[in-house]
Structure 1
Amino acid sequence: MGNFSFSAMLLLILTMFIFSMEVSTNPLFTFCSDNSINYTTNSTFGNNLKFVLDSLPSNTSSTGFYSTSIGDGAGHVYARALCRGDALVTSCRECIKNASRDVLDGCRTGEAIVWYDNCQVQYSFQNSSLMVYTGKFPDSNDNEKNISNPGRFNDVLAFLMNNISRNAAYDSELMFETGEVKFNKKERIYGLVQCTRDISGDTCLNCLNSALQDLNGCCGSRTGGSVLSRNCNVRFQMYKFYNGSDSPLIYPEFPTGDRWSMGMIMGVICAAALVVALLIGSRFIYTRLKKRKQIDEERSQTTLLYELASPKEVIITQEGQLVASQEFPFLDLPTIKAATNDFSDSNKLGQGGFGTVYKGVLPNGKEVAIKRLSRKSWQGLEELKNEVILIAKLQHRNLVRLLGCGLEDDEKLLIFELMPNKSLDFFIFDSEKRSKIEWKTWLDIITGISRGLVYLHEDSRLKIIHRDLKPSNVLLDQDMVAKIADFGMARIFCENQNTANTKRVVGTYGYMAPEYAMEGLFSMKSDVFSFGVIVLEILSGQKNSGFYQTKHAQTLLAYAWGLWNDGKELELVDPCLLESCSTLEIERCIHLGLLCVQEDPTDRPTMSDVVVVLGSDTVTLPEPKRPAFCVGRMIPVDRSSTTDPSMNQMTMSNISAR
């Protein structure tokens, strides 16, 4: 009995030791904002901060989350603490205590955040001001350690993280969820998501979705990764790193290669019999529903034809939706098929989210581009309506011209003028093509995009937000004149409307403004942000999304900001541009790009301001503030301080991986 008790105690101690190695006793990262006030220890702000931080451990440990504020005016302090949902009361209290001490000792700025494995603590002189990501990066050796079946791995990982994200946002009082899923016979993927409890479920899900996009960008097909932000955090590993037990989720895929037991065979037979019975019993209902759907589609297309062909003026509702337009030319389906050689692959120009674009030749010999929208998609029908009614009302040198449309059977087609030089991304990111273009042409392209946006935002009869501005949606004609295209995602604002909110965030990651990606808020300043990213991409020849793969910084914006602060902004510019450019013009474009990507939308210029700056070298520009999601400095980590041999360095950025 004594030997048994000793063995059991030894096993318990060993288990506790192994578990203790999983939880870091050091902060993952401490962020001290250099874009805020500084304070002294004995100042009112400093005294209030110390008082608030001292109160966090006891107030947070009982519930796992606590938010408070103290003082007013210059001494006002907001503070917030969050413990991981599976942390025990004692470990939560100890973690918050250590974090409060670290952030107090390590920062003398008006706002800061510190992250631990089990908790985070943040304070600020203003409420809800910090929008920042952080994370860990593997070294170059770990980058080679990929999953052998990346396609299936990414699908299974997405299935797991999306499931637990929805549960955390809407079903968990703690806004915390863990889960596991079988990857194969021997391996499982373990996931964890959490939000702070002072935000809504919709905001939580938006935050988690944005973090999961980052996680997929850096850590897809790897053995683990994490993204930490102010309002949420996500993490996955191939080993269990949290407390509690989960019933594994079953990825919806039919098993292959396993031995079938009699029970499985009987189960399949019973299931098949049930399916046959349901099919027979529901045949009549299915036929009626299908017929009703066809009738609804015909009515919808008839209504759309009426709206597009009607001579009425455009009617704009309070929600910014169009319900009628002026007369517009239609082409019949046989003519369009003949023009594209029946949509031959040899005529395919490209493919986007809503369909494929083909080159076509009309009976009069005119070359056109024909966008064939998804045949069965209601969303495609709405996009056609949006584009036709919008572009039919807009005429500008820097907007692509719509020549006609077709709506017949299941086909939804748009006919545009053909752009011989395709889209801007073919030139920005191709070193050979870039070398053949002089600076004056690049400057004309930048100016053309800005003038097109001014027309959309201010000069047209409708106030329009594009919402998906990126290089692939800027087309170039035979004279390299830039023309903005693809208005399927655009929104129309009423005369006195400046901002709008949506639960359905659309657009392209890397070009979306932070307030849109995180909160669903969009305005003209959202397009300004996208324009600023394009300008910096043109100057550098580098993509903003995926820039974390370089040795310089985690985003192109972070890299540009760092060079600007060091007075080395010309190092951002592709050397082939410097041979044909004016240094003053290049520097002003870098300055302008950084102004456009500032985190606060109110700090960004309007597009009319941009056009003025591009047309004059005498306008004085303000100093830019830190860009959104831009924190980029590398911090070495002692390899002996971690139990995970792949965790060799730590970076403050918008993504992380192990």
Structure 2
Amino acid sequence: MNIIIIICVPIVAFILLALGVGIFVKKRMKHEAKEFINPDFSGDISTIESIQHHFGKIRAATNNFSDDNKLGQGGFGAVYMGKLVHGKEIAVKRLSKDSGQGDQEFKNEVLLLAKLQHRNLVRLLGFSIEGIERLLVYEFVRNGSLDQILFDRTKSSKLDWNSRYRIIVGIAKGVLYLHEDSRLMIIHRDLKASNVLLDGNMNPKIADFGMARLVVPDATIESTNLIVGTYGYMAPEYARYGHFSVKSDVFSFGVIVLEIITGRKIFTQNEEDRGDLLSCAWRSWREGTISNLIDRTLSETNGGQPDMVRCIHIALLCVQQNTASRPTMASVVVMLNSSTITLPIPTEPGFYFSRTTSILHLESPNTQSPNNTYSSMGDLYPQ
């Protein structure tokens, strides 16, 4: 009898131990699989813990922030492509400087931004902090940024008029959400083609919204002493005096629309179209030759040109020098969705560049050099 007990007790103990380990491993694997799955609109992102992730796991996903995984370098940090153990792809922004905030304040801001959900915004999945390291984890958008396709002669052929119009409307809806429909009023302050990503269906997703809340301390809605943004896209009142508002984003949106329709960058040194795009568009408007601005790949199509010209008209309304004259994004969305609304006549846009120089002369409150003042908000997939 004693022999039976001696034999059975270890066997039972081993079986129970094995079952316990199996249950633990199964639960752990289930937790691992769920950890980075982006919450949908009904998901629980109500606590900091629900979006904070282990630094080592994200570092491993990017192969220790390998150059091979690097998607680009922006003004506020590098961006890496990452792949988690269970195969989910992510984009990781590694912030390059201290935000000037405490850890708790930073976490609270990230939590607020993670709750902003819109089909035309890149989803912020979470964050990680270790020492001075701060990481932001985003969904991975496979087709990269709009500028990488739009300004490539081969790739741009994929963007027919229907695709470009859908991109224009999608960007407008995303900015409108940030301005009026989100829990926070977000002014992007660096809206540009490289901060618009395209998903597998060429739907636009705005990146880097809310970065000013995370990395630019002591800024108000009215003005800031630290000008962040990209020349050509910045509204004149922001570039010169540091004054920004929702109308600053409207200006940037207008520039993007002109780029989408013309296939040209805001400023180019190409011999065939030397000069800044705003000046060219304004001259063409006044001379009645606005259709000459349309991208050649689009001008060959039939039936869409009136819509293209109307979009250029809307873009010129957005880039007017006078801030008060620019429409709100709500008005822009209405104008884009209705061909029967009579559009007002645009006034002169804000000019940046002369016809003979590529240098922007600013009357800025910031005494930084142009290289420092030109600080992108950190393109998610910068070139």
Indicate whether the TM-score tops 0.5: yes
Aligned-pair CA distance for 1:364: 2.8
* Counterpart among 570, 577, 582 of residue 304 in structure 2: 582
1:551 and 1:380 map into 2 onto residues whose CA distance is 46
The answer for the alignment partner of 2:115 in structure 1 is 393
Matched, 1:464 2:186: yes
Identity of aligned residues (%): 56
Change (3 A) 1:440 1:594: same
> Conserved in 2, the CA contact under 8 Å of 1:387 and 1:487?
no
Matched, 1:569 2:286: no
Letter in 2 for 1:343: F
Letter in 2 for 1:564: W
Unaligned runs of 5+ in 2: 1-45, 215-219, 362-383
Match of 2:92, SS state, is strand
Map residues 350-429 of structure 1 onto 2, 5 A cutoff.
Answer: 350-374=72-96, 377-379=97-99, 388-429=110-151
Aligned-pair CA distance for 1:334: 2.1
Q: Per-residue displacement from partner, 1:202-259 (whole Å, max 9, x unpaired)?
A: xxxxxxxxxxxxxxxxxxxxxxxxxxxxxxxxxxxxxxxxxxxxxxxxxxxxxxxxxx
Q: Per-residue displacement from partner, 1:252-308 (whole Å, max 9, x unpaired)?
A: xxxxxxxxxxxxxxxxxxxxxxxxxxxxxxxxxxxxxxxxxxxxxxxxxxxxxxxxx
> Conserved in 2, the CA contact under 8 Å of 1:553 and 1:632?
no
> Conserved in 1, the CA contact under 8 Å of 2:186 and 2:210?
no
Aligned-pair CA distance for 1:337: 2.2
Larger proportion of strand = 1
* Counterpart among 554, 558, 562 of residue 275 in structure 2: 554
Change (3 A) 1:481 1:606: same
Q: Per-residue displacement from partner, 1:291-347 (whole Å, max 9, x unpaired)?
A: xxxxxxxxxxxxxxxxxxxxxxxxxxxxxxxxxx84342111221122112222221
2:93 and 2:360 map into 1 onto residues whose CA distance is 35
Letter in 2 for 1:563: S
Q: Which has the larger radius of gyration?
A: 1
Q: Per-residue displacement from partner, 1:70-115 (whole Å, max 9, x unpaired)?
A: xxxxxxxxxxxxxxxxxxxxxxxxxxxxxxxxxxxxxxxxxxxxxx
The answer for the alignment partner of 1:536 in structure 2 is 258
1:414 and 1:468 map into 2 onto residues whose CA distance is 18
Aligned-pair CA distance for 1:596: 0.5
1:565 and 1:553 map into 2 onto residues whose CA distance is 19
Change (3 A) 1:390 1:416: same
Matched, 1:616 2:322: no
The answer for the alignment partner of 1:450 in structure 2 is 172
Match of 1:369, SS state, is strand
2:331 and 2:245 map into 1 onto residues whose CA distance is 16
The answer for the alignment partner of 1:246 in structure 2 is none
Q: Per-residue displacement from partner, 1:455-498 (whole Å, max 9, x unpaired)?
A: 01111122111101111111111111111111354359xxxxx9
Number of residue-to-residue matches in the alignment: 307
The answer for the alignment partner of 2:381 in structure 1 is none
2:288 and 2:129 map into 1 onto residues whose CA distance is 56
2:231 and 2:360 map into 1 onto residues whose CA distance is 13
> Conserved in 1, the CA contact under 8 Å of 2:187 and 2:210?
no
Matched, 1:524 2:246: yes
CA RMSD after TM alignment: 2.6
Q: Per-residue displacement from partner, 1:113-152 (whole Å, max 9, x unpaired)?
A: xxxxxxxxxxxxxxxxxxxxxxxxxxxxxxxxxxxxxxxx
Aligned-pair CA distance for 1:552: 4.9
Aligned-pair CA distance for 1:410: 3.4
Match of 2:85, SS state, is coil
> Conserved in 1, the CA contact under 8 Å of 2:146 and 2:194?
yes
Unaligned runs of 5+ in 1: 1-324, 493-497, 634-650
2:347 and 2:227 map into 1 onto residues whose CA distance is 26
* Counterpart among 472, 486, 502 of residue 224 in structure 2: 502
2:192 and 2:277 map into 1 onto residues whose CA distance is 15
Match of 2:308, SS state, is helix
> Conserved in 2, the CA contact under 8 Å of 1:489 and 1:506?
no
The answer for the alignment partner of 1:334 in structure 2 is 56
Change (3 A) 1:631 1:339: closer
